[in-house]
Structure 1
Amino acid sequence: MAGGASFVERRRFLRLNSDCPVQLKQMPQNYPVQIHNSISEDISEGGLQLSSFYFYPVHCKLLVELFVSQEAEPIKVVGRVVWVEQMPYQERYKVGIEFSDLNEESRVYLRQVISDSALS
């Protein structure tokens, strides 16, 4: 970068640019159940980025169902919104979600999907 500044990569996990179907339910359970469908933009073991017509506030907890394969069951994980950005000239939002309780089996499966896609 110009002026001697350098960019520091803070991500801990390999990211896969992927457009997987995602279903989101806001938590806690006493909220009226509303399921919002979306499409991921990128996925990692630590979280995902997606675009949504629905606004989720930062720190909002979500139940995320991630459909990474047509052959396998969806990955179900609780996540929290870490950033939100309205898309210019649209009523859509880019949303960053950090996974908070991805079980080991799902983590290994997701890691394999990402690794396989990165190699192809």
Structure 2
Amino acid sequence: MQTSELENRRIHPRVPLGCHVQLQPIRTSLASSTERRSDSISRDISAGGMRIWSDRAYPMHTRLLLAFECDALEWTGITTCVGSVVWVEPDPTAGRCLLGVKFGDTEPGKTTLQ
């Protein structure tokens, strides 16, 4: 049985995760605006990234600092990491959007997390 190219893209399995996520743009014009942080809810997480329900759409390739914790999975403490918006799916009826955020530093010339 052959699988499609889209099915092969998923390297890391997703785990459902409904936790509070705080998003903050890094070094962009958005970072200097009055709305510096956005409170959001995760939909799921994998080793490579996270899907997030947000009340704010971020442009593609926006670098974000993510901060989250999840008591439901018995994680202790707050986890922070850098990610980049790889896709945005607006939901105008709900007034929010679904973001795909890839973990890691994708700024040209950077190879490590901040």
Q: TM-score, normalization: structure 1?
A: 0.71
Question: Within 5 A, what are the aligned runs for 1:80-95?
Answer: 80-95=84-99
Distance in 2, Cα, partners of 1:71 & 1:5: 38
- TM-score if structure 2 supplies the norm length? 0.75
Pairing 1:1-120 to 2, within 5 Å after superposition: 6-7=3-4, 8-28=7-27, 31-32=31-32, 34-69=36-71, 72-101=76-105
Q: Report the number of matched residues.
A: 98
Identity of aligned residues (%): 34
Any gaps of 5 or more consecutive residues in structure 2?
Answer: 106-114
AA paired with 2:70?
A: V
RMSD (Å), alpha carbons: 2.3
Aligned to 1:112: none
The answer for unaligned runs of 5 or more in structure 1 is 102-120
Q: Deviations over 1:82-119 (max 9, x none)?
A: 00011152321100000005xxxxxxxxxxxxxxxxxx
Q: Which one has the largest radius of gyration?
A: 1
Structure 1 consecutive aligned stretches of length 4 or more whose deviation exceeds 2 Å: 4-9, 29-33, 68-71
3-state DSSP of counterpart to 2:9 = coil
| 1:10-52 deviation line (CA, Å, top 9, x unaligned) | 1111210110110100111772271211110010111100111
Higher helix fraction: Structure 1 or Structure 2? Answer: 1
